[in-house]
Structure 1
Amino acid sequence: MGAQSGDASSRPPSNGRRLSGNTGPNPLDSSSTGKLLVMGSFKGHALPGSFFLVAGIWWTGKYSLWHATRRNKSLGSTRLASRASQRRLEMMESSVILFFSFFGMLAEQFFAGGPKLQLYDFTEKHWELLMNWQHATMYLFFGLAAAVSLIIHTTEAAPLALDRLMLAIAFFNEGFLFLYHLHGRSMLDVHVHQLLLYAVFGQAGVAFLEVFHRGNIILELLRCTLTILQGSWFWEIGFVLYPPNGPTWDLQDHSNMMFITMCFSWHLAFAMLLVSVLHCTVGCLVRSRLKRTPPMEMGLLKTRERDVESEDEML
């Protein structure tokens, strides 16, 4: 097939450059140092891809539930997602993200021959596995965003909108590092990562808008869509650059670039469809649940909810 080639030269090139003019093995090349870059593999792309896919699906369900309860408050829907339950969900979510961010940093530093917190090798006079350091920095900013969110929802120490601002900064930092992460790579390798940047910077922009328009379901679902897109595209990058089975891709073929660009649009369509289906499903389930509520119980719920927080006070 013209889109693929078994030529070994089509494999992704090594990354990084020596700081000095010394000749010898490239310190950032896993083949020259015997160290395996954590994200420079199929599993290394599948892991963050799975994380973003799960996060996008989780956010879609959560925001759809909250939106449905706000729209049906007169039917007693706030018992399905009260302000207290929303706060608990935010705390649980932030704790999980903080844990996985910390685990990701540890994996980049200490697993599979990582730099083990050594940034510069003064003996060989070169930077030590900067790819791993960049990936760890990406995890660091998501961990910071999760920590701030946890503080916000457990104390009154910071304004509520700060969690969205920190999330926007985390996504922006991810895109910023990826933007300067591609020097010296093959044409298709650069292209698949450049396409990823559309999703990442899009998430940063949407999260920043949420600082000023919190609770806007359109912005929330758009962020969910871009998060799922980023997750599925990480998987696509893994299959293109590090195919687990079958022939390798020709990374210099322009036809492959055209196909991958079209494939990115398919991933976007899939993400939009998935978010739409989940949003409609959650809304239907909430309305169905409320319709089955006995009239006497509904009257008690309405009495109890007369003093419930206004929609602007909802998370």
Structure 2
Amino acid sequence: MGSLPGHVVPGTIFLILGLWWMYSAWLRYFICRQRRRPYYVTVSFPCHCCGPRVARLPIESFFVLFGTTLGILIELIAGFNRVIDPKTGSVSFNEGANNLQHFAMYFMFFIVGLISLLAHYNFPLPKNFDGVAGCLAFTAEGLLFYFHGHAREEVEVLLHVFLVLSIFATVICAVFEIIQKEKQVHTTLMRAYFTVMQGAWFYAIGFILYSPFHEHYEQSKDPDAHRTTMLIAYYFALNMAITFFTLLMLSIPAYYISKRQYQTIDFAEYGNLSMINNDDDDDEMEKLNGVTTTTTTIH
């Protein structure tokens, strides 16, 4: 991953996933409100944009499996080294430690995609098992990148520290998604928010360290180390602001689509019937709203 493409690939995966989670969480939230049903939490979301047939397919799981498989192949091929001993002429093969770290990250998320696929097809896994797997994958990613910056230049260390902060913030949100008694949309939105931040920050790291538009940062870096530190913190704060603005803006199309299609978009049809039709949840919603709810026919 010590290149611009090596940061663009994971950054793109996290950006697409995070933006999709933002939009889908907003859409589910608005539809649940209109149907007077409590919001419920799932790790992945059905793809309603292309009709009911596509919505029945685990598109998100397929995307995760494809993206992580691509990343695994890139890291293993790029990190493969053939070494010839100049004295003995013996040949040995090894993988670069840098690439093995990234391989481990991709492999953890590959397992998450596999578990999500099994859950979609009703394999008898424990409840929230895909959520637990996601927490473990993000935790492994955070540990890998925490040690990734050790013994490197100050700029690289600081860039990876900010990345690790956003990763562990994602873990905290994912844990709260699992353990919260009354399911709320906030934790899902924040999980999506920090995932997008990770993706955008991967891009930032790639362009700061390996941009094709300027010299390597060692030759072009600012001699004032304090100013450089302040600028990197500014870039991260700007990333936070832009990501939050994006989160807010995605609520607008989700709201209007929910108003137009809330009778035709059917979450229950795609594996969540027990969550939507839970009588206890209906009673709780009545208490929260202070009104008597009527049963809505879900087509």
The answer to whether TM tops 0.5 is yes
Partner of 1:230, secondary structure, is helix
Question: Could you tell me the TM-score, scaled by structure 2's length?
Answer: 0.74
Among 21, 30, 34, the alignment partner of 1:72 is: 34
Name the structure 2 match of 1:165. 132
Name the structure 2 match of 1:153. 120
Name the structure 2 match of 1:114. 80
Among 202, 215, 230, the alignment partner of 2:169 is: 202
Question: Do the aligned partners of 1:187 and 1:251 also contact (CA within 8 Å) in 2?
Answer: no
Segment drifting more, 240-249 vs 253-262:
240-249
Is 1:259 the counterpart of 2:231? The answer is yes
Question: Do the aligned partners of 1:109 and 1:133 also contact (CA within 8 Å) in 2?
Answer: yes
CA distance in 2, matches of 1:139, 1:281: 32
Question: Do the aligned partners of 2:145 and 2:160 also contact (CA within 8 Å) in 1?
Answer: yes
Name the structure 2 match of 1:43. 5
Name the structure 2 match of 1:129. 96
CA distance in 2, matches of 1:127, 1:225: 38
Name the structure 2 match of 1:35. none
Deviation of 1:250 after TM superposition, in Å, equals: 1.6
Question: Could you tell me the TM-score, scaled by structure 1's length?
Answer: 0.71
Segment drifting more, 245-254 vs 160-169:
245-254
Among 94, 102, 107, the alignment partner of 1:140 is: 107
RMSD: 3.2
> Deviations 1:232-255 (Å, cap 9, x if unpaired)?
111111111112112444276221
Name the structure 2 match of 1:101. 68
Question: Do the aligned partners of 2:173 and 2:187 also contact (CA within 8 Å) in 1?
Answer: yes
CA distance in 2, matches of 1:127, 1:159: 39
Name the structure 2 match of 1:250. 221
Check 1:235–1:229 CA distance in 2 against 1; reply closer, same or farther (3 A cut): same
Deviation of 1:140 after TM superposition, in Å, equals: 0.4
Check 1:124–1:192 CA distance in 2 against 1; reply closer, same or farther (3 A cut): farther
Question: Do the aligned partners of 2:173 and 2:191 also contact (CA within 8 Å) in 1?
Answer: yes
Deviation of 1:46 after TM superposition, in Å, equals: 1.4
The answer for unaligned runs of 5 or more in structure 2 is 38-46, 83-89, 267-272, 282-299
CA distance in 2, matches of 1:312, 1:215: 15
Q: Sequence identity of aligned pairs in percent?
A: 28
CA distance in 2, matches of 1:223, 1:275: 11
Name the structure 2 match of 1:275. 247
Which residue identity does 1:197 align to in structure 2? V
Q: How many residues align?
A: 249
